[in-house]
Amino acid sequence: MEALVMFFEKSLAMKSVLIDALMETLTMSLVSTFLATLIGFVLAIILITTDKNGIAPNAYTYKFLDVTINMLRSFPFIILIIVLFPVTKFLVGKHTGTFAMIVPLTIGTAPFIARMIEGAFKEVDSSVVEAAKSFGTRKFQIIFRVLLPEAFPSIISAITLSLIIIVGFSAMAGTVGGGGLGAIAMNYGYYRFDGIYIFWTVFILIVLVQIFQSIGDFLYKIIKH
């Protein structure tokens, strides 16, 4: 009983620290997901357009992007953070902190999102695209009036999955000065051997992922029907 009382007393004492860390994690995750989705969307459009079966085939452009995206996806995220330190410092002015970590989170996730959105576009029935072409629909219109509406539910699922992955990456970023819940788990839980911080960090991350997944599933059902 005494141990339980101490647990709740300490939990209340660390409330402000955990709330600040949660806000930092949300900032890193949401901003990075937004930026990575924009970049990934553009890359996916170029990939699906220049593919050999696309509406404007271009083998050289497709191959260049294909290799570049695969190369970026092959980097373990913790190594990518370190490799991008000079880029991060140039863009943000420093390579540590919440806003600094948005750079590697965005660059590391954009290729992944690009592949998933490309996959969503490829799931669209080719006969729909062919029908649009037969009516003289322009390439721009095919992308935004045919492919995008048809693939939108799958794109929502892709963004949801990406957001959840970025939450995990943001926690990993905390180990190298990124802030957020990962930093709390490392600095208080690991270095100070405080299991209560570890418990609440893991609990908050689990709840966060469940919330994001539920929102994503809800949006998918609305758009699908």
Q: Is the per-residue pLDDT at 2 higher than 80?
A: no
pLDDT recorded at residue 143: 80
Cα 116 from Cα 98, distance rounded (Å): 26
Single pTM value for the model: 0.88
Cα 67 from Cα 65, distance rounded (Å): 5
pLDDT recorded at residue 194: 72
CB 94 within 8 A of CB 100: yes
Q: Is the per-residue pLDDT at 178 higher than 80?
A: no
Listed in sequence order, the residues at least 6 apart from 118 whose beta carbon sits closer than 8 Å to its beta carbon are: 43, 44, 47, 48
CB 22 within 8 A of CB 204: yes
Q: Tens of pLDDT along 67-80? A: 999 888 888 888 88
Q: Is the per-residue pLDDT at 213 higher than 90?
A: yes
Cα 18 from Cα 14, distance rounded (Å): 6
Q: Tens of pLDDT along 152-165? A: 888 999 999 999 99
Class of residue 167 by CB neighbours under 10 A (exposed 0-12, middle 13-18, buried 19+): buried
Q: Tens of pLDDT along 52-72? A: 877 788 889 899 999 999 888
pLDDT exceeding 70 applies to what percent of the chain?
91
Q: Which of 39-43, 83-87, 146-150 has the lowest mean pLDDT?
A: 146-150
Cα 58 from Cα 42, distance rounded (Å): 16
Q: Is the per-residue pLDDT at 114 higher than 90?
A: yes
pLDDT recorded at residue 81: 87
